[in-house]
Amino acid sequence: MILVTGGLGFIGSHTVRPLLDLGEGCVLVQRRTGEVPAEFAGAQVTVERADITDLTALLDVGTRHKITGIVHLAGSMPWPPGSDEPIDGARKAIGSLFNVIEAAEAWGVPRVGVASTIGVYAGLTGAGPLREDMPVPLTAPHPIPSFKKIGELLADHLTGATGIEIVNYRISAIWGPRGRPADPFFPAPQLVHAATRGTAPDLSSLRFPAYADDAIDLCYVKDCGRAIALLQLADRLNHRTYNVASGRATTNAEVIAAIEKVVPDAGIDLPTGGSGQRNYLDITRIQQDTGYRPDYDTERAAADYIAWLRAGNER
């Protein structure tokens, strides 16, 4: 059984499905609920209610299930900022990673995957692919990449100290069903939700103004989940860090064009200009070691996302 922390969340739920398709049962650890969602009814899925900041509660899960792998996707930092007292919040964030690794050691789990982020590359200049072997800046512009960099360093140390294969997933900008309708870093979800509702997009949550020519490595969540499942189940991995991404730069203009293929009267308009950056994550490593290839281009992703929303779903 693969234990997935945050298994009912955005990326987590889309990772469980391909794990099941590949023949693995899943134990989903959630803090707030112990119910198996309808979409997994009849599947080899169990939901355990436990807080991963509580080591005793986490270890207790292993008394009821034979855990053979861990995919750690639950949040590793206090979010939103200010939700915890700073020192206590930081202690919980780092402590949860320690707890997951300690549980893996206790259960004899050989491989643990840990979510990192495209944000660790922030500050690198120039266009083109961002590779896992590039030196990344020690500083970070936001708490999320700050904690992820700390996590990557700890994972590298703990891999050597414990003998557990700890794999970092540097996850790109992810969009699709169950994601936040208002993302602070890129506007694609806001644009899709607005077009589906027939309203003007509210981009007030963005940290920076959005331009039509702005680009980011935009990966559909179903591709992201499948990539993580492949990394978890690969017979052999040659690296400890992998980019989980589409492997291409997608502009906001391309997203708008894809949306308007499905909603011709969406009327979305963003100003031209922007940074001109065309960075994207190099996915050579994951392709070579797992055979991963993205199934969703921008048009297919937008159509699938809109269809999901039109079916009466909101997240």
Please compute the mean of the pLDDT values over residues 212-220 and round it to a whole number.
95
Whether residue 85 has pLDDT greater than 80: no
Whether 94 shows a pLDDT value over 60: the answer reads yes
Q: State the Cα–Cα distance between residues 93 and 101, nearest whole angstrom.
A: 13
78: cis peptide before it, omega within 30°? no
CA distances from 28 to 65, 176, 219, 305, 314 (A): 11, 21, 23, 24, 22
The whole model's pTM is what? Answer: 0.94
Q: Over the stretch 116-171, which tens digit does the pLDDT of each residue have? A: 999 999 888 766 799 999 999 888 888 888 999 999 999 999 999 999 999 999 99
Tell me the HSE value of 207 on the side-chain side, using a 13 A CA sphere.
6
pLDDT at 76: 54
Q: Set out the domains of the chain in order of their start, with CATH numbers.
A: 2-174+218-244 (3.40.50.720), 180-217+249-282+295-310 (no CATH)
pLDDT in tens, 240-249: 999 999 999 9
Q: What is the pLDDT of residue 79?
A: 47
Q: Side-chain half-sphere of 66: how many Cα atoms within 13 Å?
A: 3
Per-residue CA distances from 61 to 51, 76, 100, 108, 112 (Å): 11, 20, 12, 14, 16
Give the pLDDT band of residue 250 (cuts 50, 70, 90). very high
pLDDT of residue 243: 98
Higher-pLDDT residue of 111 and 141 is: 111
Position 77 confidence tier, pLDDT thresholds 50, 70, 90: low
